[in-house]
Amino acid sequence: MVEVERAIYPHSDRSIIEELKARGIRKVLSYGPLELPNGVRVLGKGKTGIVVLTEDFKALKIRRADSPKETLEIEAKIQARAEGVAPKVFDFGRNFILMEYVNGRHISREDVDVLPKLVEKAHELDSRGIQHDELVRPWKNVLRDEGGNVYILDYDDASIRPNPRNVTSVLTAFGLVDLAKEYSRVKDIKYVLERLSQFFHA
Ligand SMILES: Nc1ncnc2c1ncn2[C@@H]1O[C@H](COP(=O)(O)OP(=O)(O)O)[C@@H](O)[C@H]1O
Ligand SMILES: [Mg+2]
C-alpha cells in the first residue's frame, strides 16, 4: 500500500491530492502490469490518466498533472451513461473517476470469440447516442475477463451524437470492412450477429 500522492504523475499536484483526500482516498495498492518511475505499480497509464487499484479493489483513474484536459467530469458522465458496457462509475470529480475494477486483459485481433459480444456492446453505445471515437483501435480500449465478458473503457474522446458509429468501427478494426459497410446501410444488428456466427462457427 502506498500514499495516493505517489500515484500522481508526472509531477506532484496539490489540487489533485486535496480532492482525492477530501473524498477519502488516501492510499492505493501498488499493483498492476506497469511501473511508474518512482516504483509504484499501476493498472494502466494513458495520455490523460493513471489508473490504480484502491484498497477496496476499485479502479481509480487519476487525471495526469500534465493532462491537456481540465477535468474528468465530462468523461465520467458519459461513462456513467454507458453503464453495462463500461466499468460502473462509483464516484468522480475534476481529477478522478472511481470505477469498477476489471480483472482482465486487453483484446487483440485473435479474440474473435468475443467479437459478437463486443459488437452488441458497441450497438448498445450506438443506441444510447454515445460515440466512443476510439473503437477503431479496440486493442487499446477493450478488456476481456475470464468469463469472456467485455468492457469498453476510456470515454476521454467520447461525445453524445445523433448517429454514433461504434459498431462500424469495431467491425472495421477486425477487418470486416464489407460487413461494416452493409451495417451502415441497413442498420440491422441481428443481421450482423448472424453473419458473424456464420463466419466463425461454420
Ligand atoms: N476499470 C479498469 N479496470 C482495470 N484496468 C483499467 C480500468 N480502467 C483503465 N484500466 C487500464 O488503464 C489503462 C489506461 O486507462 P484509460 O482510461 O485508457 O486512460 P487514458 O484516458 O489516459 O488513455 C487502460 O488501457 C487499462 O489497461
Ligand atoms: Mg486510453
Ligand 1 mean position to 161 CA, how many Å?
23
% of the chain residues with pLDDT over 90: 98
pLDDT of residue 199: 84
Please work out whether the CB of residue 62 comes within 6 Å of at least one atom of ligand 1: no
pLDDT of residue 202: 56
pLDDT of residue 200: 79
The rounded distance, in Å, linking the Cα atoms of 172 and 197 is 17
CA dihedral 64→70→73→76, nearest 10 degrees, is -40
Q: What is the pLDDT along the chain (202 residues), one digit of tens a residue?
A: 999 999 999 999 999 999 999 999 999 999 999 999 999 999 999 999 999 999 999 999 999 999 999 999 999 999 999 999 999 999 999 999 999 999 999 999 999 999 999 999 999 999 999 999 999 999 999 999 999 999 999 999 999 999 999 999 999 999 999 999 999 999 999 999 999 999 877 5
Give ion ligand 2 contacts, CB < 5 A: 46, 154
Please report the domains of the chain, with CATH numbers, ordered by start residue.
Answer: 2-100 (3.30.200), 104-201 (1.10.510)
C-alpha cell at 118: 463486443
Ligand 2 mean position to 157 CA, how many Å?
9
Please work out whether the CB of residue 60 comes within 6 Å of at least one atom of ligand 1: no
Please work out whether the CB of residue 51 comes within 6 Å of at least one atom of ligand 1: yes
Question: Rg of the chain's alpha carbons, rounded to an integer?
Answer: 18
